[in-house]
Amino acid sequence: MNKILVISFFALLLTGCKGSFFESYQKVNPSGWDKDSLLAFNVEITDTLQAYNMYLNIRNQGSYEFSNLWLFVDIVAPDSTALRDTIEITLAQPDGTWLGKGTSGIYQLQLPYRKNIIFPYSGEYSITIEQAMRSEKLEGIQNIGIKIDKN
């Protein structure tokens, strides 16, 4: 009986260790996301051999007027090398049904951004996100988040 309890404890411990390496959200100004407003995240990387998966998390209100969201994502490594991506995120189906999970008129969607990536340098990486829509002020986006898991 004791062996079963010990094995169960270690199995629970091992499955409980899986989780996010990094997860953070930035709040968007409630009056609207200005075109020149950057949301910044800083991630400390120490293991340059570990592979990671990175996700973008979007929280939008049901009143958001578009079905998609264009973003510029910049990643700057500790050695100052930079990478810029332009990403289109589909937030709603053609019939207007919001994707993701929603309660009280707020919807959250998590999308894979980069899979199986290796950060080549140890140190602090800076990730900035800006809206790339045609609107100078984008209303209806509440939070933008980054999640990084060890692969």
pLDDT of residue 19: 66
pLDDT of residue 104: 84
Query: The whole model's pTM is what?
Result: 0.84
The closest of 92, 81, 94 to 125, measured between CA atoms, is 81
Q: Which residues of the chain have pLDDT under 70?
A: 1-19
The closest of 99, 54, 49, 60 to 73, measured between CA atoms, is 54
Q: Coil, strand or helix: which one is 28?
A: coil
Give 109-125 pLDDT, tens digit per residue.
999 999 999 999 999 99
pLDDT of residue 103: 84
pLDDT of residue 13: 39
